[in-house]
Amino acid sequence: MIRGESRSQRSRAAGRSVTPYQSARNWWRRWGKETFAAYLFLLPSFLVFAVFTFFPVIFSLVICFYRWNLPRQPIYIGLDNFKWLFTDPIDAPAFRQSVFNSFYYALGGIPLNMAISLLIALFLNRHLRGVEFFRMAYFLPTITSTVAVSVVWMWIYHPADYGLLNSLLLKLGLSPQAWLRDPDLAMPALIAMGIWKGMGYNVIIFLAGLQNIPTHLYEAAEIDGAGGWDKFWRITWPLLGPTTFYILVIAVINSLKAFAQMHVMTQGGPLGRTTTIVYYLYQQGFETFRMGKASVVAAVLFALLLVLTFVQFKTVGSRVYYD
């Protein structure tokens, strides 16, 4: 009897079970409308990303395997473009020089940029009179066009006596320099300009990281008798780890992608000393119109940035302290 009742109860429960249509209808009432509205709002941004970023990247990877010298039609050649980039007696040394120049620009500018930015952020983190003005002043170069900044710095580096930097050298009794025309001075000059241009962004990020550090940690350290250096080394620096790591990753990517200042100020010269990877890509694609070879350079740059970012996450990122 009990067994029979349990079967009938199970049959009635099965009869009241929710059908797939009802389940889908309930899901639409609870979550479907909100999900559809969210995707609808994301659609314009997704379309812009797809048209101007995703599909061009895929198309660039495809034409790596073609000889496409505009205005001629593309011809499939397999891996010949990659062989050309690394074995051609003329272009391969130029590409290696561009890789060296890019790393020279990055290694010469990133450490100084980060160190100076941190010192300025520590100064601006204090409760000083008019500190808001200085924060704005340091950030202004970041939002200024790189082309406009490059034109201004060309006048600063002008080789004539009326160039601002050479005028200062003459007043100090020193001889003027051809800053952007000297193979040994051109890249350091660009590095100095890049430090000034990108410093404001790093200052703001460092300042945000400093203001997120709890003040009670410094108060406890002062009670224990810690000095300024001890507080920086044992509290500020460890807790700035995530901020510093973020700035490092972004700085490496931006430095290896540097192009505008080289194009405006030196055109890759003198003697190819300021030809970076991106500028070499520009020469292949938009000066000689060899699109297949330019795409190979872009693919190599993408792989290089991917590997460097992965290495940074595995080496530096694993040591970052997250509170």
Kindly report, residue by residue over 154-210, the tens digit of the pLDDT. 999 998 877 899 999 999 988 889 999 999 999 999 999 999 999 999 999 999 999
- Which tokens sit at 290? 């060899």
Same domain for 55 and 138?
Answer: no
CA distances from 21 to 24, 25, 28 (A): 5, 6, 11
- Whether residue 71 has a cis bond before it, omega within 30° of 0: yes
In a domain, residue 249? The reply is yes
Is residue 5's pLDDT more than 70? no
In a domain, residue 104? The reply is yes
Same domain for 138 and 166?
Answer: yes
Give dist(CA 88, CA 206) in Å, integer: 45
H runs (alpha helix) in the chain: 2-15, 20-27, 33-49, 55-62, 80-87, 91-124, 131-143, 146-156, 164-171, 186-211, 215-223, 228-231, 237-239, 241-256, 260-265, 277-282, 291-315
In a domain, residue 18? The reply is yes
In a domain, residue 184? The reply is yes
Query: Which residues constitute the domain of residue 143?
Result: 82-319
- Which tokens sit at 164? 């601002």
Residue 189: which of 162, 164, 160, 156 has the closest Cα? 156
Q: Between the CA atoms of 264, 269, 270 and 276, what dihedral angle is there, to the nearest 10 degrees?
A: 120
Same domain for 240 and 309?
Answer: yes
pLDDT band at 22 (very low <50, low <70, confident <90, very high): low
Same domain for 46 and 111?
Answer: no
pLDDT band at 128 (very low <50, low <70, confident <90, very high): confident
Question: In the chain, pLDDT over 70 holds for what percent of residues?
Answer: 89
In a domain, residue 72? The reply is no
Give dist(CA 204, CA 249) in Å, integer: 16
In a domain, residue 251? The reply is yes
Residue 245: which of 305, 322, 139 has the closest Cα? 322
Count of structural domains, the chain: 2
Q: Kindly report, residue by residue over 289-304, the tens digit of the pLDDT.
A: 999 999 999 999 999 9
Which of 36, 67, 98 marks a domain boundary?
Answer: 67
CATH number of the domain encompassing residue 109: 1.10.3720.10
Same domain for 59 and 174?
Answer: no
CA 182, 184, 190: angle at the middle one, nearest 5?
Answer: 80
What pLDDT is recorded for position 228? 84
Give dist(CA 165, CA 48) in Å, integer: 44
Give dist(CA 179, CA 267) in Å, integer: 14
Same domain for 286 and 229?
Answer: yes
Same domain for 285 and 175?
Answer: yes
Q: Between the CA atoms of 202, 207, 213 and 216, what dihedral angle is there, to the nearest 10 degrees?
A: 150
Q: Tokens 């050479």 label which residue?
A: 166
Same domain for 212 and 303?
Answer: yes
The mean pLDDT value of the chain amounts to 88
Same domain for 86 and 47?
Answer: no
Q: Tokens 């990055």 label which residue?
A: 106
In a domain, residue 19? The reply is yes
Q: What does pTM read for this prediction? A: 0.85
Same domain for 146 and 197?
Answer: yes
Which of 39, 67, 95 marks a domain boundary?
Answer: 67
Give dist(CA 83, CA 235) in Å, integer: 51
In a domain, residue 73? The reply is no
CA distances from 123 to 127, 230, 309 (A): 9, 17, 30
For 40, half-sphere exposure in the C-beta direction (CA atoms, 13 angstrom radius) is: 6
Which of 34, 67, 100 marks a domain boundary?
Answer: 67
Same domain for 120 and 19?
Answer: no
Same domain for 169 and 301?
Answer: yes
Phi, psi of 176 (to 5 degrees): -70, 160
